[in-house]
Amino acid sequence: MNGKINIYGDADVLFAVYKDGAYSEEIPEKGESYYFDHADCTNNATATWNRSEWSVTVNSLKKSKTKCSLYFSQNNTSSEQSSVSKMEDLLSQEEDKETGITIVSDDNNIRYIGADPSNYVKFNCDESGNCETWRIIGLMDGIKTKAGKAERLLKIIRKDSLGTHRWDLSDNGENGSNGINEWSQSDLMHALRKYGGESDNECKDTSCSSWGQLSSSAQSMIEEVVWNTGTASGTESTWQELNVPVVQYKWERSENTGKQCNGGNDCNDDVDRKTTWEGKVGLMYPSDYGYATDGGKKQFRRMQRLYTPLYTWSYYGNNSCYGADWLYGSSTDQWTMTPAPCSSYAHSVFRVDASGDVYRYYANGTYAVRPVVYLKSNVKINGGEGTSESPYTLSLN
């Protein structure tokens, strides 16, 4: 494992193995008191460990002479495990879907699915040990950090909303005074920056809320990353039929902006449009909501749901889509961070309705805010079972 292994063509990977931080000439045998902790690869590649097969797979391999260092730790009295390896262990044990996790083909993401999977985690704990309950969306691959490195990171969302807030409020008549659907300058973005503990001179009384800030321990666990803020191609008549989860996922990573209107009084902002944003605290994507649905014991049903337009999920016959989706909130409308394009205005944003649909709404509307963050790769899961009665607990290594 420490020599060259030909993958294809002239590409090769060099593996190095470390046990408890010390270089080793061999990988620990399966059944020994070691667990896989994490991997560091050069050239923005990532490595996935399969515990059941006791093997490694290299992902995103784009350059030859890529080196991957595999780290193993001895499982003595400590039950701590990196969040990455914990998710991979759960996946390898996932024979009957009891824990409700699945691997998604897009970017090799591992997601929690179903009506109520075991994805509860304690987060934002104060000095007295009082914590909030958050939930794990999944383990996301190829997330670009502020430092420019692509990593596999755990993505979590607050179980309950912080309350309602405007996505954006333009008070100077732009877009008919209904807001501007550009996340990088929105009022809600500024409010969440403040909530995440960042200084923000643009977060004034009209845009900030009384949420307070995340605790210092929570702030130390959050990775600053590049978020995708692209949107659908075309305008409303196009995306209504095509905004199925698998297509929505690709749109969010596209160069399409929320301003695709053809002009007129309702399309008069001069805001610089971006399709990425760098920050610590965001919101879920429409695709996160879509991918969280399950198909029960008949997995082909989940595939059917992933190709059902999100704006029709409340229609008769489709209500099982949101009924098997833990991100659905039956009593609240939830903001996403994705703009929605239209032919005549640039003030709409995708929202998850209490009805179960995903549709566009004015940015100056006040809807529920459930913050989302990515955890640093050195965050450990050090206890808990992931259930609502026994959420996972975290520590920072």
Listed by start position, the domains of the chain span 1-78, 81-397
Dist CA 144 CA 155 (whole Å): 13
**Could you read off the pLDDT of 330-353 as tens digits, one per residue?**
889 999 999 999 888 899 999 999
Residue 212: CB atoms within 10 A of its CB come to 10
Read off φ and ψ for residue 100, nearest 5 degrees. Answer: 70, 40
85 band by pLDDT with thresholds 50, 70 and 90: confident
272 to 119, 181, 182, 203, 367: CA distances (angstroms):
38, 11, 8, 19, 25
pLDDT greater than 60 at residue 31:
yes
Read off φ and ψ for residue 221, nearest 5 degrees. Answer: -95, -10
Q: How does strand 109-112 pair with strand 101-104?
A: antiparallel
Question: What pLDDT shows up at residue 358?
Answer: 95
Query: 34 vs 363, which has greater pLDDT?
Result: 363
The model's pTM is 0.83
Average pLDDT over residues 223-236: 92
Read off φ and ψ for residue 184, nearest 5 degrees. Answer: -65, -10
Residue 51: CB atoms within 10 A of its CB come to 16
16: tokens are 């190095």
Average pLDDT over residues 350-362: 94
Average pLDDT over residues 239-249: 89
Q: What percent of the chain has pLDDT over 70?
A: 89
77 band by pLDDT with thresholds 50, 70 and 90: very low
Dist CA 348 CA 381 (whole Å): 38
For 300, residues 6+ apart whose C-beta sits below 8 A from its C-beta are none
What separation, in Å, do the N-terminal and C-terminal C-alpha atoms of the chain show?
Answer: 27
Residue 301: CB atoms within 10 A of its CB come to 16
Average pLDDT over residues 298-315: 85
Average pLDDT over residues 78-104: 68
> Chain-wide mean pLDDT for the chain?
86
8 band by pLDDT with thresholds 50, 70 and 90: very low
Average pLDDT over residues 36-58: 80
106 band by pLDDT with thresholds 50, 70 and 90: confident
Answer whether 219's CB lies under 8 Å from 197's CB: yes
Where is average pLDDT lowest: 6-15, 50-59, 377-386?
6-15
3-state helix, strand, coil in the chain (%, to 5): 20, 35, 50
313: tokens are 């999920």
Answer whether 26's CB lies under 8 Å from 32's CB: no
Query: 290 vs 177, which has greater pLDDT?
Result: 290
pLDDT greater than 80 at residue 97:
no
Dist CA 98 CA 186 (whole Å): 40
110 to 10, 35, 53, 101, 377: CA distances (angstroms):
30, 19, 18, 7, 15
Segment of 76-90, 134-148, 257-271 carrying the highest mean pLDDT:
134-148
Average pLDDT over residues 31-38: 76
Closest CA to 279 of 209, 201, 218, 192: 192
Dist CA 239 CA 341 (whole Å): 9
Average pLDDT over residues 144-156: 92
Dist CA 11 CA 103 (whole Å): 26
Average pLDDT over residues 326-332: 91
Dist CA 120 CA 390 (whole Å): 8
Average pLDDT over residues 302-320: 86
Segment of 55-64, 174-183, 202-211, 216-225 carrying the highest mean pLDDT:
216-225
pLDDT greater than 60 at residue 11:
no
